[in-house]
């Protein structure tokens, strides 16, 4: 995996979730991130960006931008989602009862539950007038290929007449 970083600004609109997917896929390919990790991070970011777009319109119609940052190192893929909406920590939402029937289940909360279960770390903090969610996913380290030394076949036994 190649280390690297990317930062981009997104409009607060649902069509941007398609762009998020494209950005994460291309970043993953460029930096040689395993496809399964790219999928997990893409799914998590899609959920978070969708939530920001959908919920910011009702809470704060003056949300102007979403900033997406991606960073890789040898062992992890980090993602940050930053927006300029009202303070809201989605990690404070109660865990949904996934065993409840649909009729007994409260609406919402499944998206952040999905993000928590897919990612290794999820953190929220308020920085000035901005929300910042950080996500991290460890990249499984593959063992280097085992190199077989030169082929040594046993020395032939002397043939006795």
> Mean pLDDT over residues 63-69, rounded?
87
| Structure confidence at residue 62 (pLDDT) | 64
Surface-to-core class of residue 6, CB atoms within 10 Å of its CB (0-12 exposed, 13-18 middle, 19+ buried): middle
pLDDT (tens digit per residue) in 70-84? 999 989 999 999 998
> Any idea what DSSP says for residue 56?
H
In angstroms, the CA 137 to CA 91 distance is 17
Statement: residue 18 has pLDDT above 60: yes
pLDDT (tens digit per residue) in 110-132? 788 899 999 999 999 999 999 99
| Structure confidence at residue 15 (pLDDT) | 85
pTM (two decimals): 0.79
Domains of the chain, start order: 4-138 (3.30.565.10)
Q: Confidence band (pLDDT; 50, 70, 90) for 20?
A: very high
């Amino acid at each position: 995996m190649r280390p690297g970083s990317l930062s981009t600004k997104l409009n607060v609109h649902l069509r941007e979730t398609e762009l998020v997917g494209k950005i994460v896929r291309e970043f993953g390919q460029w930096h040689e991130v395993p496809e399964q990790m790219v999928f997990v991070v893409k799914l998590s970011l899609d959920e978070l960006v969708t939530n920001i777009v959908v919920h910011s319109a009702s809470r704060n119609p003056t949300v102007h931008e979403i900033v997406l940052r991606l960073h890789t190192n040898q062992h992890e893929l980090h993602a940050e989602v930053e927006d300029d909406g009202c303070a809201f920590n989605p990690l404070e939402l109660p865990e949904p009862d996934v065993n409840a029937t649909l009729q007994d289940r409260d609406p919402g909360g499944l998206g952040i539950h999905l993000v928590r279960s897919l990612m290794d770390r999820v953190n929220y903090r308020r920085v000035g007038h901005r929300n910042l969610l950080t996500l991290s996913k460890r990249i499984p380290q593959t063992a280097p290929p085992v190199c077989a030394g030169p082929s040594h076949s046993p020395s032939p036994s002397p043939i006795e007449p």
